[in-house]
Structure 1
Amino acid sequence: MTVPAPPFDRLDRLDPHELAQALGLVEEIEQYLAGLPAPASPPAPAAGPYGSVRQPWNHGEPLPRRSLLDRLARRPARPVEVTVAGHLRLTSRYLAEAGWTQGALWDARGRVCLLGAQTAVLAHGYGTAYTVRRARAQVMEVLHATGRPASSPDVWNDRPGRRQAEVHALLERARARAHFLGI
């Protein structure tokens, strides 16, 4: 393919598109682009350390929203209704995100104990005090059923040698029990 010589006497008056046409660059670029392979699909999002994308502790739950009446009365939003099983799941997820501690509801770094996690879930607007009491009863039932009697889940949480994984396992068993019972 022969390309005619560009009009050198008019280069300063040509717009860039006409100049590219005159030099044959457009056809050359189109041929080059036609020869390229099809673009690959976009990469998947980066996975978190455990093989999935990180989600906030309350992912999948509606956020508590103040109604017009709540705003007029200057009161907090009504709590989001959650089941006992849902409360125990949220407690475990909050504990995983905030971190775990013993001997205090929470520490300066924001880590919480079992009761502190339940309190935080309640304070964020999920469930009622009645839901928390029923959830604690399920935790006590699991402790006694598995041969680990304790006067309260807090005493069990604060025992020396306790690990965060044990707390999560206890919450999961209590959640499964509550789910089985339909509460």
Structure 2
Amino acid sequence: MAATLIAPDDVDLLGPLLVAEIEAYLRSLPAPSRAVAARPFTLDRLAVPAVNPYGSVVQQWHHGVQLPEPTLLDRIRGRRRVAQVTPAQHLDLLSKYIHQHGWLQGALWDASGAVCILGAQLRILAAGYSTPAVVERARELIGNEIGYRGETGPIDTWNDAEGRQAADVHQLLRRAAARTA
């Protein structure tokens, strides 16, 4: 089968063809349901968030914690800005990071981006959302929570235990964060 070459004069035609193809695809999608459209518009309807008929919007793992922008002096000196977070916020970021990128056992991270608890802590620290002191305090809280459960050993061994699931990791992180309050 011979390959079809596009002449330089035909390149200008591809833009409108692509737009037409996208518009045809959008017209083929089902129309969103309009269950609330029959009601007249009132201010109380503003308090209810709109429902996306095509699914939900994925939030970034660091949503809600703003990383400070570097100042001119930071850029000149080559300093990296770090967001000041509490150990509880760090544990919450850990759970969100693991939820978004995936959880794994037996390695810090893999090619797909999945991480263990320690791998997630390293990634969050590298992203500028914590300090080594906060990471250390968060690891102490996680270790304490493992002890409260009656289990022993380091966090990494707990993470890699046979039968452990991602839900167990999220529950551990939530409970450790709750104990800081």
Report if TM-score (shorter chain) is over 0.5: yes
Deviations 1:92-128 (A, max 9, x none): 0000000001111100111000001111111111110
Does structure 1 residue 67 correspond to structure 2 residue 78? Answer: no
Q: Distance in 1 between matches of 2:84 and 2:53?
A: 31
Q: How does 1:125-144 map to 2 (within 5 A)?
A: 125-144=128-147
- Give how far 1:68 is off: 1.0
Where 2:179 maps in the other structure, the secondary structure is helix
Tell me the residue number matched to 2:165.
Answer: 163
Note if contact 1:100-1:112 (Cα within 8 Å) is conserved in structure 2. yes
* TM-score normalized with structure 1 length: 0.69
Note if contact 1:95-1:112 (Cα within 8 Å) is conserved in structure 2. yes
Tell me the residue number matched to 1:29.
Answer: none
Q: Distance in 1 between matches of 2:94 and 2:100?
A: 10
Mind listing any 5+ residue stretches in structure 1 that lack a counterpart?
A: 1-36
Deviations 1:37-79 (A, max 9, x none): 9897699241787xx64311111111232111111112322x1
Equivalent AA in structure 1 for residue 80 of structure 2: P
Q: Distance in 1 between matches of 2:87 and 2:156?
A: 18
Q: How does 1:1-183 map to 2 (within 5 A)?
A: 44-46=50-52, 53-77=57-81, 79-150=82-153, 152-178=154-180, 180=181
With over 3 angstroms needed to count, the CA separation of the structure-2 counterparts of 1:40 and 1:166, relative to structure 1, is: same
With over 3 angstroms needed to count, the CA separation of the structure-2 counterparts of 1:47 and 1:104, relative to structure 1, is: farther
* Residues paired across the two proteins, number: 139
Equivalent AA in structure 2 for residue 44 of structure 1: A
C-alpha root-mean-square deviation of aligned residues, in Å? 2.4
Deviations 1:134-163 (A, max 9, x none): 00000111111111112x111100112110
Q: Distance in 2 between matches of 1:94 and 1:86?
A: 12
With over 3 angstroms needed to count, the CA separation of the structure-2 counterparts of 1:147 and 1:48, relative to structure 1, is: farther
